Amino acid sequence: MKDYIEERALEIAHYIIETKATVREAAKVFKVSKSTVHKDVSERLPRINPSIAEEVRKVLNKNKAERHIRGGLATRIKYKSSALSE
């Protein structure tokens, strides 16, 4: 069982690095919860492969810094589409 978890952590890490995905996007692709993805990349991955863990951390920090922009865009689209349907 432990091998499966380590393998999943590495797969998630590679996916995040390659696609610049958010934790939420990775969770959907791998069909696990956001907390599982977070635990895999923040706790398990540094013990398995510290260099990959650092790359993932950089991507996630960038995503975190940009999340207010994505939220604003989503709100804009929401209200723009509701104005069109009225």
* pLDDT at residue 71 in the model: 73
User: For residue 44, which amino acid is it?
Assistant: R
What is the rounded distance in angstroms from the CA atom of residue 80 to the CA atom of residue 82? 6
| pTM for this predicted structure | 0.78
pLDDT tens sequence across 61-71: 998 888 777 77
> Where do the domains of the chain lie?
2-84
Which of 20, 16, 10 lies closest to 70 in space, CA to CA?
20
Structure tokens at 21: 């995905």
pLDDT of residue 68: 76
Digit-coded pLDDT (tens) for 1-37 = 678 999 999 999 999 999 999 999 999 999 999 999 9
Distances (CA, A) of 62 to 22, 48, 54, 80: 10, 23, 12, 27
